[in-house]
Structure 1
Amino acid sequence: MQCDYYDAGRCRSCTLIEQPYDAQLLAKEQHCRDLVPGADVVWLPPVAGPEQGFRTKAKMVAGGTLDEPTLGILDADGRGVDLRSCGLYPADLQRAFPVVAAFVTRAAITPYDVPSRTGELKHVLVTRSPDGELMVRFVLRSQEAVSRIRKHLPWLHEALPAVRVVSVNLLPEHRAVLEGEREILLTEASTLRMRVNDIDLHLRPQSFFQTNTDIAAALYRQAQAWVDALAPASVWDLYCGVGGFALHCARSAAGTERDVVGIETSSEAVASARLSARELGLTRVRFEAGDATAFALGSSHAPDLVVVNPPRRGIGPELSRWLEGSSVRQVVYSSCHAESLARDLAAMPSLRPSRAQLLDMFPQTPHYEVLTLLERR
């Protein structure tokens, strides 16, 4: 992949861009194999996607001036570096960025200046659905610009008809985080429909969704295949997000429902998952907002199979110990950080990896997703 930003030294985020893609993939799989123990682990062929144009979510730092806003990253001095033509984004998402930047100027949303701690607009978050619809979120320091954003929304819809959901997120503190806790919805539509493997997942503004939809679809299909082969009567999906794994595993290959519980800290994600379950007509699937570890430790019984898809830190020692001492026969572990996966596996010696697969969710970087099937021995 060739990138003018990288060649000019303006952005070096794609640290593997100078390596051939096949070499990237080979090195990632070897790194993963070195961390996942077991000589008898069956490694499925790695799943690779396009080298560019795969990111369906843009997390753009706002910079520059009101008349010439930048959308991209900040340099070492905290000044904006515009990356609207980044090759990681699909063409229609790239075409949306200049319209969003023009809207920033039109609605007079002054970009936040990190060195002086002045201004309003900190980030612009744009998500593209598989159908090409967009969710646009403006992360602001205060509500000062909200009325102007509302006033000019008709212009945005006319200039960018793909926009379905628009919201404002409030982040008043001067912190190196992406968003705050409070969200103000500005459109009648509150969710972006994310069709994955013929299942409609719903994405609300503060819900997490994988940034590479094609690889996420492959991830869910493989987990579904393993669960179908094992035919558990009951499943927990811990760290369930908007319900991707839970909804894919809710029915057997024969079409019969199984008991599935999804647990997620984000109430917005849980609301999204419940909506998807209702639309699918699922009656034996429920989603609850809560902490995965607390839910497991507080339960009076264990399911046949558990799916975990934790953040980079992994599931941690408490949940690992609970799984080790439980009656759970199988665990499907989806990890975005193989080092934390290795730590968790070491705490669950009775649950041994039997199958694994690398899925290249993040080409041009050292990051990847690995899906592992653990079986009690």
Structure 2
Amino acid sequence: MQCDYYDAGVCRSCTLMGRPYDAQMHDLQHAVATVLAPHVAESCWTAPAYGPESHFRNKAKLVVGGTRTAPTFGILGGDGTGVDLRDCGLYEPGLHDAVHRLARFVIGLGLTPYDVPRRSGELKHLIVTHSPDGEIMVRFVMRSPGQLRRLRDALPDLLDAVPGTRVVSVNLLPEHRAALEGDQEVFLTDEETLPMRVNGIRLHLRPRSFFQTNTTVAGMLYRQAQEWISPAAPSSVLDLFCGVGGFALGAATALCDPGASVRGVEISADAVASARLSAAELPGREALGDIRFQAGDATAALAEGADLVIVNPPRRGIGALARQLEESDVPHILYSSCNAKTLAADLQAMPSLRVTRARLFDMFPQTRHHEVLLWLER
């Protein structure tokens, strides 16, 4: 992949830019397998899963800089001024189009970008998500609520300017700090979720919901999980760190057993609400057994036990939960990790559980970031 921004030296976020993609994949597989070698035999690995090396991102997190009449949408330079990246080659075509349309809307509305060095202005970030069905979620991260009425009044114009827009919200971040968003979200539209259709399942995203930024490879990840789960035929599944329910709902459809029990546990109440909505919409819901989602602590939920435990934790890994799993009688674990080093530490704490299948998923071409899926058996 070639990138004008990288070649000009204005953005170096893609650290592997310019390296042939097959070489990137070879190096990434080797690096991850080396870190996990004490716990994952070479014979366990399936060929890596990957999609296009460009135009794959479904989400843009844009720092808004510059001036009211000439704003920038991208990142901040070393001096705190804005660097425009509207034509980033990582964006899906629909997202690329939406970013350009939104930029024109912001300029026409006359919103003042937040000036980091001077600590003045209003619009800090623009966060845009694009779904496989061409729908859009737009979030304006503002310094204060002073522009809420203005944005509400302009909503019809925004909906006309960006076809497919389903959710529009304003996030308030009054503090001067290095953060993407604040604690308060104000919806301008009646709709509050963006459906992301993956493998026939509509996953509902709210503004702060986590979802993989590569929809194509996320679909591969969930399909692989289903293929490993189905022959094991667990009667009870516990999905810890379940988010909006991608793995749990995939497990329910893979089992297709009215007697099966699938439970998801997640600390975010918003994510749980989204997962419940997606579960209610599953095709053939009555034949998929007992599917429940609850907000709470993942470590406490493990006490109820399960035939299969799914974990998809943040980069820090599962920590103390690894010891609890080791001391439990859970026969199977499906572990999805975005950090091979913390994954290796967690596997070290679970010596009675053996990795029998492993696969690398390249969610982030042009970088060394990775996603790994493991199947463990006691």
TM-score, with normalisation over the residues of structure 1?
0.96
Paired position in structure 2 for 1:33: 33
Let me know the Cα RMSD of the aligned residues: 1.3
Assess if the C-alpha contact under 8 Å between 2:257 and 2:289 holds in 1. no
Assess if the C-alpha contact under 8 Å between 2:260 and 2:289 holds in 1. no
Assess if the C-alpha contact under 8 Å between 2:252 and 2:289 holds in 1. no
Determine the C-alpha separation between the residues in 2 that align with 1:254 and 1:93. 35
CA spacing shift, 1:154–1:257, aligned 2, 3 Å: farther
Q: Secondary structure at the match of 2:154?
A: helix
Is 2:216 the counterpart of 1:210? no
Structure 2 counterpart of 1:289, one-letter code: A
Is 2:310 the counterpart of 1:307? yes
CA spacing shift, 1:229–1:97, aligned 2, 3 Å: same
1:168-187 pair list within 5 angstroms? 168-187=170-189
Assess if the C-alpha contact under 8 Å between 2:33 and 2:40 holds in 1. no
Q: Secondary structure at the match of 1:145?
A: helix
Structure 2 counterpart of 1:213, one-letter code: T
Determine the C-alpha separation between the residues in 2 that align with 1:248 and 1:24. 30
Assess if the C-alpha contact under 8 Å between 2:62 and 2:127 holds in 1. yes
Figure out how many residues of one structure are paired with residues of the other and give that number: 372
Paired position in structure 2 for 1:53: 55
Assess if the C-alpha contact under 8 Å between 1:251 and 1:257 holds in 2. no
Determine the C-alpha separation between the residues in 2 that align with 1:285 and 1:254. 11
Q: Which moved more, 1:363-372 or 1:87-96?
A: 87-96
- 1:252 positional shift: 4.2
Q: Secondary structure at the match of 2:145?
A: coil
Paired position in structure 1 for 2:8: 8
Assess if the C-alpha contact under 8 Å between 1:41 and 1:353 holds in 2. no
**Residue number among 260, 270, 295 corresponding to 1:289 in the alignment:** 295
Q: Which moved more, 1:13-22 or 1:104-113?
A: 104-113
Determine the C-alpha separation between the residues in 2 that align with 1:163 and 1:197. 22
Q: Secondary structure at the match of 2:249?
A: helix
Determine the C-alpha separation between the residues in 2 that align with 1:5 and 1:179. 26
Is 2:75 the counterpart of 1:73? yes
Determine the C-alpha separation between the residues in 1 that align with 2:256 and 2:248. 17
Determine the C-alpha separation between the residues in 1 that align with 2:183 and 2:301. 23
CA spacing shift, 1:65–1:315, aligned 2, 3 Å: same
Paired position in structure 2 for 1:21: 21
Gaps of 5+ in 1: none
**Identical residues among aligned pairs (%):** 60
Q: Secondary structure at the match of 1:60?
A: strand
Paired position in structure 1 for 2:326: 324
Determine the C-alpha separation between the residues in 1 that align with 2:41 and 2:54. 34
Deviation track 1:195-219 (CA, whole Å, cap 9, x = no partner) reads 1001111111111111000100010
Paired position in structure 2 for 1:266: 268
Deviation track 1:257-297 (CA, whole Å, cap 9, x = no partner) reads 5211111122111111000111122551111112322433x
Deviation track 1:238-261 (CA, whole Å, cap 9, x = no partner) reads 111110000000134555452111
Superposed structure 1 runs of 4+ greater than 4 Å apart:
252-255
Deviation track 1:13-63 (CA, whole Å, cap 9, x = no partner) reads 110012110010011111111122233651111101100000001111111
Structure 2 counterpart of 1:27, one-letter code: D
Structure 1 counterpart of 2:154, one-letter code: H
Q: Secondary structure at the match of 2:208?
A: coil
Determine the C-alpha separation between the residues in 2 that align with 1:251 and 1:15. 38
Gaps of 5+ in 2: none
Structure 1 counterpart of 2:266, one-letter code: E
**Residue number among 338, 341, 362 corresponding to 2:340 in the alignment:** 338
Deviation track 1:61-108 (CA, whole Å, cap 9, x = no partner) reads 111111111110000011100000000002221122222122223333
Structure 1 counterpart of 2:301, one-letter code: F
Determine the C-alpha separation between the residues in 1 that align with 2:176 and 2:236. 45
Assess if the C-alpha contact under 8 Å between 2:237 and 2:309 holds in 1. yes
Determine the C-alpha separation between the residues in 1 that align with 2:146 and 2:83. 25
Assess if the C-alpha contact under 8 Å between 1:106 and 1:152 holds in 2. no
Assess if the C-alpha contact under 8 Å between 2:40 and 2:358 holds in 1. no
Determine the C-alpha separation between the residues in 1 that align with 2:252 and 2:276. 13
Determine the C-alpha separation between the residues in 2 that align with 1:129 and 1:136. 12
Assess if the C-alpha contact under 8 Å between 1:250 and 1:260 holds in 2. yes
Determine the C-alpha separation between the residues in 1 that align with 2:67 and 2:260. 55
1:99-138 pair list within 5 angstroms? 99-138=101-140
Q: Secondary structure at the match of 1:46?
A: strand
Paired position in structure 2 for 1:188: 190
Determine the C-alpha separation between the residues in 2 that align with 1:109 and 1:349. 56
Q: Secondary structure at the match of 1:249?
A: helix
Structure 2 counterpart of 1:375, one-letter code: E
**Residue number among 199, 202, 219 corresponding to 1:200 in the alignment:** 202
Assess if the C-alpha contact under 8 Å between 1:201 and 1:243 holds in 2. yes
CA spacing shift, 1:121–1:6, aligned 2, 3 Å: same
